[in-house]
């Protein structure tokens, strides 16, 4: 899983550099699939429950699961959320990033960064001995305190030899504390945060989810390994992120 995650990180970095105004979401998908296969992986989203692409490409008010299309063009000022995963030797990885294309409103820039930081606030508790829903509560509270809507219709999940495994991981406070975390667990933790309302609409294509008020949404996800100490991000190995984890120990 560590190898699978590191490969997926490479794919996301290549996608970050590939995105620019004027390209279609289908081109993004095709480029991402080629990168996955070039590295020796298999795209785990492709044909998953009928999904027609390898990369979920969601723009602005699209929360998740945007379907890549030839006639859907990225424009200056858009924010583009990319959700992707791959399989390597039977093991899955899953990660999402929201990228800003050119210049956009300060409020939108802040949304993207705060969504990322809500993830790190959550994994403050992704440690052996803590409880699963401590992660959920921390993510949700961080976002709510900053005036955002936290999507409740979708959540994170366990991951391993299947893309989606138990347990589900909501991004908002639960009544109980959830299961106790133990070393070796692998979790896909993925806050989806809206600039406006938390409510979402499902589109007629059966996949695309949009904010109900059509305000922008951001998405940030990593595959996380629970260890005896600090959590390990299998899909994000940057020193900045490792330092964030060290600085946010409970």
Percentage, residues of the chain above pLDDT 90: 99
Closest by CA to 200, choosing from 151, 139, 144, is 151
How big is the chain, counted in residues? 250
According to DSSP, residue 174 is labeled: -
Residue 249: pLDDT band (50, 70, 90) is confident
Span 179-215, pLDDT tens digits: 999 999 999 999 999 999 999 999 999 999 999 999 9
Residue 218: pLDDT band (50, 70, 90) is very high
- Is the pLDDT at 250 greater than 90? The verdict is no
Mean pLDDT of the chain: 97
Where in 101-155 does DSSP place strands (E)? 149-150
Span 86-97, pLDDT tens digits: 999 999 999 999
Q: How many CB atoms lie within 10 A of CB 6?
A: 16
CA 25 vs CA 30, 59, 86, 93: distances in Å: 9, 9, 19, 22
Q: Which residue do the tokens 């979920």 mark?
A: 56
* Cα angle 112, 115, 13; round to 5: 65
Span 131-152, pLDDT tens digits: 999 999 999 999 999 999 999 9
The answer to whether the peptide bond before residue 189 is cis (omega within 30 degrees of 0) is: no
């Amino acid at each position: 899983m560590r190898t699978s995650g590191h490969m997926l990180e490479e794919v996301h970095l290549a996608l970050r550099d590939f995105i620019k105004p004027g390209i279609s979401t289908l081109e993004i998908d095709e480029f991402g699939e080629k990168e996955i296969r070039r590295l020796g992986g298999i795209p785990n989203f492709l044909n998953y429950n009928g999904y027609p692409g390898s990369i979920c490409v969601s723009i602005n008010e699209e929360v998740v699961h945007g379907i890549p299309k030839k006639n859907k063009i990225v424009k200056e000022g858009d924010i583009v959320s990319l959700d992707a995963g791959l399989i390597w030797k039977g093991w899955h990885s899953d990660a999402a990033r929201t990228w800003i294309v050119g210049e956009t409103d300060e409020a939108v820039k802040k949304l993207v960064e705060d969504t990322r930081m809500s993830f790190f606030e959550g994994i403050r508790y992704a440690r052996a001995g803590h409880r699963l829903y401590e992660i959920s509560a921390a993510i949700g509270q961080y976002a709510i305190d900053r005036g955002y809507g936290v999507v409740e219709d979708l959540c994170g999940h366990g991951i391993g030899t299947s893309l989606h495994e138990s347990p589900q991981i909501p991004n908002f406070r639960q009544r109980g504390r959830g299961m106790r975390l133990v070393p070796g667990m692998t979790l896909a933790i993925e806050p989806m945060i809206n600039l406006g309302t938390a409510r979402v609409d499902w589109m007629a294509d059966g996949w695309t989810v949009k904010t109900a008020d059509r305000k922008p949404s951001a998405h940030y996800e990593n595959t996380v390994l629970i260890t005896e100490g600090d959590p390990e991000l299998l899909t994000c190995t940057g020193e900045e992120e490792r330092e964030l984890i060290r600085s946010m120990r409970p």
